[in-house]
Amino acid sequence: MANRLSIVVVEADRERARSIVDSLRDAGDFDISVISEVTGLARHVSNRDPDVVLVDMTSPSRDSIEELTLASGPLERPVAMFVDRSDDGLTKAAIEAGVSAYVVDGLRPDRIKPIMDAAIARFHMFHRIRLELETTKRALEERKVIDRAKGLLMKARGIDEDAAYALLRKTAMDQGRKVVDVAEALVTAAGLLS
């Protein structure tokens, strides 16, 4: 039917793309396609002539979509970045979540809202997962360094693990530094001396 909105999702990561498509399907009956190629992006998008384009803000390729805002031919439909002029809330929420939408001229905001809501929720989730992953990775790395520093102290001073950790912590507190920084300094120094 002519009224079914077509959406193009620009996303290079297959897993993420699938997850966005799923949540859009839950939000309504849309004709959805995914573009994962970064070269020739604007050309690929305009070939599909969608009503809405969703693009990850952290991708440098987003600038290629801006080109479509300059409709050069009379048959081309001008595309504009979606800005909810009645209330900046939705646009702001989208940008904070890291997604931006481009829509063809004349599309009513209430038709876009369910799409935006679904995309915003999904991108928030991506953001949270990425943050959690980074935090976990950092914690793991810190733990490894501290373990090595403990090992060095145990060997060098003939103390047990608890005492080694206590020594690291006391040094860190005395110097107003983090335990991991002291541990790292120790590991580096040991590496130089050995």
Partner 1 sequence: MSTTPLEAGIIPLVDAAPLIIAREIGFAEEEGLDLRLHRAPSWSSLRDMLALGQIDAAHMLSAMPVAMALGLGGFAERIDVLSVLSVNGNVIGCSLDLAARMRAAGYGFDFVDATAAGRALIAAAGDTPRIGVPFPFSMHAELLYHWLGALGVQAPQALRVVTVPPPLMAQAMAAGEIDAFCVGAPWGSTAVEDGVGELLLPTTAIRAFAPEKVLAVRHTWAEAEPDLTRRLMRAVWRAGRWLDQEDNCLTASEILARPDYLNVSSEVVERSLTGRLVISPRGDLRSVPNYLVFFRGAAAYPWRSQAALMAHSLAARSGLDRAAAVKAARSIFRTDLYRQNLRDLGAEMPGATDKVEGAMRDPTAVASEAGHLILEPDAFFDGFIFDPTGDE
Question: What is the torsional sign of CA 176, 180, 186, 191?
Answer: negative
* Interacting span for partner 1 (CB under 8 A) from 28-36, 90-98, 116-124, 171-179: 90-98
Q: Name the residue nearer to partner 1 (CB basis): 6 or 59.
A: 59
Residue 193 Cβ vs partner 1, minimum distance, rounded to whole Å = 28
78 scored as a contact of partner 1 (CB under 8 A): no
107 scored as a contact of partner 1 (CB under 8 A): no
Put the strands of the sheet holding 99-104 in their side by side order: 31-35, 6-10, 52-56, 99-104, 79-81
Among 6, 19, 36, 59, binds partner 1 (CB under 8 A): 59
∠ CA(76), CA(82), CA(85), 5° rounding? Answer: 125
Residue 183: Cβ-neighbour burial (10 angstroms; 0-12, 13-18, 19+): buried
* Interacting span for partner 1 (CB under 8 A) from 21-29, 93-101, 145-153, 162-170: 93-101
61 scored as a contact of partner 1 (CB under 8 A): yes
Residue 102 Cβ vs partner 1, minimum distance, rounded to whole Å = 10
Which 18-47 positions form the footprint of partner 1 (CB under 8 A)?
38-40, 42
Task: Enumerate binding residues for partner 1 (CB under 8 A).
Answer: 38-40, 42, 57-67, 69-70, 72, 80-81, 83, 85, 88, 91-92, 95-96, 100
